[in-house]
Amino acid sequence: MNSQKQKKKNSRLLKSSSYCFACGENNPFGLKLKILGDENGVWTTFKVTQYYEGFKDITHGGIIATILDEMIAWACRKRNLDVLTAELVVGYKKKLAIGETIQATGKVVKEHNRLIIGESLIKDSKGQIIATGYAKMLLV
């Protein structure tokens, strides 16, 4: 089955939730990411607060991984691809201080049958890379 047929077949199988931890507006504990973009990629900015602390004054690595994963998932959705994360590889480059405002981006780099490959990136306010993400996403 070609990619276009899969896109149509898989359209809207996964419903968005206002309680999504990463982007849900109604989740009182969530990140509430406001993600913008198009079929070429997505982006967001986010100020890390103490609620997401791991070690003192440092953002928990799981929060960083969540943002990276979410950016790739949204990049897929902007292409009308309903996917679940099959594998996520995170490269941590430097610590992310609490109170820092980050910029995150995500894009699809390859579509092959039911496997979608995506990449994401988080930079601090100085433009330094905090972490990178590489994911294999599975069409549902």
In this prediction, what percent of the chain has a pLDDT beyond 90?
Answer: 74
Q: From the options 3.10.129.10, 3.40.309.10, 3.40.1180.10, 3.40.50.150, give the CATH code of 3-9+16-139.
A: 3.10.129.10
Residue 15: the pLDDT is 72
Q: What is the pTM of this model?
A: 0.88
Is residue 29 classed as helix, strand or coil in its secondary structure? coil
Looking at the predicted structure, is the pLDDT value of residue 99 above 60? yes
Looking at the predicted structure, is the pLDDT value of residue 51 above 80? yes
Contacts of 10-18 with CB under 8 Å at 24 or more apart are 10/80, 10/81, 10/82, 10/139, 10/140, 11/80, 11/82, 12/82, 13/82, 13/140, 14/82, 14/83, 14/84, 14/140
Per domain, the residue ranges of the chain are 3-9+16-139
Range 38-66 average pLDDT: 95
Residue 116: the pLDDT is 98
Q: How confident is the model at residue 138 (pLDDT cuts 50, 70, 90)?
A: very high
